[in-house]
Structure 1
Amino acid sequence: MSFELLQDTLNDDDIAGLAQRLDHPDEAVRRIAVLDLAEQEDPALLPLIARALAGDASPTVRREAAERLGGWEDDAVVTALCDALDDDAPEVRTAAAQTLSGLKTGEAAEVLLARLTHPAPFVRSAVLRALRELRLPQAAAPALALTRDADAAVRREAVGVLGWLRLDHALPRLAELAERDPDAGVRRAAVGALAVEGAAAGALLAALRDSAWQVREEAAITLGKLRVAEAVDALDAALRDEYWQVRLQAARALGRLQAVGALPGLAALITHPISNLRKEVVLALGELRHAAARPLLQQAQTDPDPEVRKAARIALAQVDAASA
């Protein structure tokens, strides 16, 4: 039934009946009532769903209410969801955080920003996650301050906000976090956030030597995105990293940089047992657009993996076009 037809068939008694079901002793009935209320898509009914979120005795019902409030971004709804970040039940807190992360406009920005001083780290990190893709300039200062939070999850989400805002004045702090934060997740997020023109190449090169392979992987990705020419030697060395994921991203970056000098290092990986890595190596060889890559690419045309063979055809076409 369409929304318009449903609205026509409902009357005040129907709404009153749905509201009464929210007080039913059976939690399954209350949960279905929340679903039915949400299906009306009527903003006037949002207070009833918010009431279930705030006061129902069942975590299952409260979680359902948190999920169903998605798509509504007025102050009252966002306030109810922020309040639910403090819920006793982990599943309700998680659902509220997930719903908040789906916000598309900055309509309730002040509600969110006010929660950044909340004593609970979970609340601070969830609110930062909700602010991230909104790209609100007024979130910059508190996010920068929260990169010094005692909680690693909060620092990581604060870095995410700054990464989306792409602010020049935040780059020194992001570079510092990329090199020195004690948490590998924060370092990795900071490295990713440095993927902006003018970022500190030194911090990215240092990240390529990080003790955590995930940080090294992110460093290779970022150096490739920025096409940092002075990173060629370090990326070439990363082709011998103990983790194939790092090697893969190093190969991709070297291809973007058209680093012909890395050809021997790439050639050594043409028969690596991981097919995803072989595919990226082949594509990188194509981006070199150098005739010396042709024998390797011809060899890759007989690879057992069809994706590698397809990549080899594409790469050979690039080399041939460059020669022509």
Structure 2
Amino acid sequence: MEAKEATQSRDADTRRLAVMNAIELDEPEAIAVILEGFEDTDGVVRAEAARAIAEIPGPHMLPPLLKLLYDEDELVRKAAAETLAECNEEGLQDLYEDYISSDQAFVRAAVLRAVRPLRIAGAAPYALSGLSDESVQVRIESSGVLGYLQDPAYLQNLAGAALTDPSHEVRRTAMGALGYRSTAETVGALVRGLKDTAWQVREEAAATIAKLKAIEAGPALVGALGTETYWQVMAKILTALGRIRYKEGMGAAAEMLSYSVSNVRKEAALCLGEIGDARALPWLREALKDRDPDVKKLASWAIAKIEMA
């Protein structure tokens, strides 16, 4: 059955398959088949069209995708939002303002997510306003937009969201978004984030400190390592201590070489190797007896790195 004929079939599954397989056609015909799928009466077909158009990127994809953000079917709206977020089309700069202030939170969030990688400066006012939106998802995407813009003017706003937003998901996103500029305010917020009630936020705070190589956070990292109960956070703290080469943290890192979770022991060995202080050699040589071969391998690497320095 020809693709055009298949899109006119009374059977929704046949129409869905036609849209799904359109990528195998010549581009003009493929676009025509997929765009027809956008108008299909069946939600599953429309959702398939929203996913399929991602295979043929270009300005033609934006108007129908934006329209589908208002579709009555949730499956379709989600598919359109996911494709829009990945499209990275410059043409969106001419269209986003009509949707970014929509009265529907889902649409606001989807468009914010889509414009984020484009670093559209004009989206900043919407993102700043979005930090106080009633929708958690809008606040998450607003933090992401401001982080991608990498403008120091927004650090205070991001720090506020990272520390005070009621949603740990927003706080975590904002902590990560702070990772483009190391300032006293930024590092201060990250240090406070190490004490957040949600372990995911503490993990992100430690990861961002590592990214910024904020050595002034060293004492706070050591303190946090001594009280932390989640191994995922411990691992990120150890990564940060190694990244900033915080020699005063060697003892705390060495204690983690005997921790019950092997991922923590591996990060401890890496940390000591990155710090590169010969005083860590006795601890690392003891770690060569570890029951996990990866821990032994990393301890050996750390020893060699220190001895070659």
Q: TM-score range with shorter-chain normalisation?
A: over 0.9
Q: Match for 1:125 among 87, 93, 109?
A: 109
**1:132 Cα deviation after fit:** 1.5
Match of 1:202 among 175, 188, 192: 188
| CA positional deviation for 1:242 | 1.2
Rg larger in 1 or in 2? 1
| 8 Å contact kept, 1:178–1:187 | yes
Which residue pairs with 2:126 in the alignment? 142
**Residue 272 of structure 1 pairs with residue 256 of structure 2:** no
Distance 2:89 2:211 in 1: 28
Correspondence for 2:206 among 220, 234, 238? 220
- The aligned residue for residue 43 of structure 2 is 59
> What's the secondary structure of 1:269's corresponding residue?
helix
* Residue in 1 that maps onto 2:237: 250
How much does 1:229 deviate? Answer: 2.3
After superposition, give the CA deviation of every residue in 1:136-190 in whole Å (9 maximum; x if it has no partner): 2222232222222111110101111111111111111001111111111111111
Q: Deviations over 1:254-285 (max 9, x none)?
A: 11121111122112111111111110010001
Contact 2:253 2:272 (8 Å CA) reproduced: yes
Aligned pair partner of 1:308 in 278, 282, 295: 295
Count of residue pairs brought into register by the alignment: 306
| Cα pair 1:156 1:185 within 8 Å, conserved | yes
1:25 is aligned with what amino acid?
R
Tell me whether 234-243 or 140-149 shows the greater mean CA deviation: 140-149
Q: What is the RMSD computed on CA atoms of the aligned residues? A: 1.8
- 1:160 and 2:133 are equivalent in the alignment: no
Per the alignment, residue 5 of structure 1 pairs with: none
Q: Deviations over 1:190-233 (max 9, x none)?
A: 11111122442211111111111111111111112212222111
Distance 2:84 2:303 in 1: 47
Q: For residue 78 of structure 1, give the secondary structure of its aligned residue in structure 2.
A: helix
- Evaluate the alpha carbon distance shift between residue 22 and residue 107 of structure 1 in structure 2; reply closer, same or farther with a 3 A threshold: same
Unmatched tracts of structure 1, length 5 or more: 1-13
Q: Please tell me whether the aligned partners of residues 34 and 65 of structure 1 are also in contact (alpha carbons under 8 angstroms).
A: yes
User: Is the contact between residue 178 and residue 208 of structure 2 (CA under 8 Å) also seen in structure 1?
Assistant: yes
Contact 2:24–2:30 (Cα < 8 Å) also in 1:
no
TM-score w.r.t. the length of structure 2 is 0.93
Mapped to 1, the partners of 2:172 and 2:211 lie a distance apart of: 15
Q: Which sits farther off after the overlay, 300-309 or 72-81?
A: 72-81
Tell me if the contact between 1:101 and 1:130 (Cα under 8 Å) persists in the aligned partners.
Answer: yes
**Which of 257, 260, 281 is residue 294 of structure 1 equivalent to?**
281
1:71 positional shift: 4.1
Greater CA drift, 274-283 or 97-106: 97-106
Q: In the alignment, is the contact (CA less than 8 A) between 1:283 and 1:311 conserved in 2? A: yes
For residue 164 of structure 1, give the secondary structure of its aligned residue in structure 2: helix
Alpha-carbon distance in structure 2 between the residues aligned to 1:151 and 1:221: 26
Equivalent position SS for 2:48: helix
2:155 is the counterpart of 1:171: yes
Partner of 1:184: 168
Instruction: Please report how far the alpha carbon of residue 29 of structure 1 lies from its aligned counterpart in structure 2 after TM superposition.
Output: 1.3
Query: Under a length normalisation based on structure 1, what TM-score does the superposition of the two structures give?
Result: 0.89
Gaps of 5+ in 2: none
User: Match of 2:90, SS?
Assistant: coil
**2:3 aligned with 1:18:** yes
State which of 27, 37, 41 in structure 1 corresponds to 2:22. 37
Alpha-carbon shift at residue 32 of structure 1 (Å): 2.0
- SS of aligned partner of 2:258: coil
Distance 2:20 2:191 in 1: 51
Deviation (angstroms), 1:45:
4.8
Which residue is equivalent to 1:231?
A: 217
CA contact (8 A) 1:59 1:89 kept: yes
Identity among equivalent positions (%) equals 38
> Match of 1:109?
93
